[in-house]
Structure 1
Amino acid sequence: MRTTFPTSVSAATMTAAAQDYTQRGWTVAETANGLCLITDDEVSGIEVSGELAGQVRRFLRANNLSGPVIEIPGAQRREIHLVTGLRKATLALEALTAAGAIVHTDGAGILLPPTQLSAGSACWGVTPAEARWIPPVVALGAAVRAVTARKRPQLTSVAC
């Protein structure tokens, strides 16, 4: 499903935001729908949804691992966590996709929230300015493993 953003953001605001993202080392493109992050080896996105999204966000916050997060409106909670280090994280990526996460990388575009929000549009849950870093994908993998491990049935008896 493709998400579109309002186009009411002025060209000057988009250019200022594009410059800010470019100074962060991100590759961005200005489209008719707004600014788009072009994923690469340095910055990619992991999309999680539903209950898992909330649990992952809490785990990352509690362990001081949060990075930039885009919240996508809809009936079900959806978030895209910006991450780095995908080249060296094959096992983490396999675990994330097995848990239902969507990986945005290798030139995929992620529409970035507008700087002037309107009701119902995607927004930054954690802005790039608030985030102390862009975490490695293995941090997000650890969060998913931790929260899904809690759902597994616990041993209730011991065989003798």
Structure 2
Amino acid sequence: MNSKLKLVKGDITKIEADAIVNAANSSLLGGGGVDGAIHRAGGQAILDDCIAIRNRQGGCKTGEAVITTAGKLPAKYVIHTVGPVYNGNKAEKEQLLANAYSNSLKLAVEHDIKTIAFPNISTGVYHFPKPRAAQIAVATVQDFLKQNNSIMQVTFVCFDDENYSLYADLLQLT
């Protein structure tokens, strides 16, 4: 396993990192799952930043990423990325999911972020198959880290046992 990769089972809103990633929707106004939990735990400051981004650029497209304060969270920043809803063209959806991870990492580098934590993007209400989503996440992050040395640690934060087990197998932790 790459020593820069870490796996934890838990609540991403409790993770201490320079940035945590939010599996946002394109409106950036909060929602269910991880998105709602991050907005609730981080407070009004995150929503205010998201509204400012919306006013400036009209939300966030699928596969893209934007950065805000982390409000009351232990992280310094929240990187909001929009994963794809899994329907229609599967190859296109896989590329958009990879883009969500790589664009989040690019934004982290631009903001001198050394530690970043990702949730399982698109595997909840967006119905991306968990095994394939995990493969894309790990491969995209590993490829990015091969090209860029500035990020010191990437943590995959799994909320449920199924995702944790999938990531543990991919990262050869079992």
Q: TM-score range by the shorter chain?
A: under 0.3
Structure (1/2) with the larger helix percentage: 2
TM-score, length basis structure 2? 0.25
TM-score, length basis structure 1? 0.27
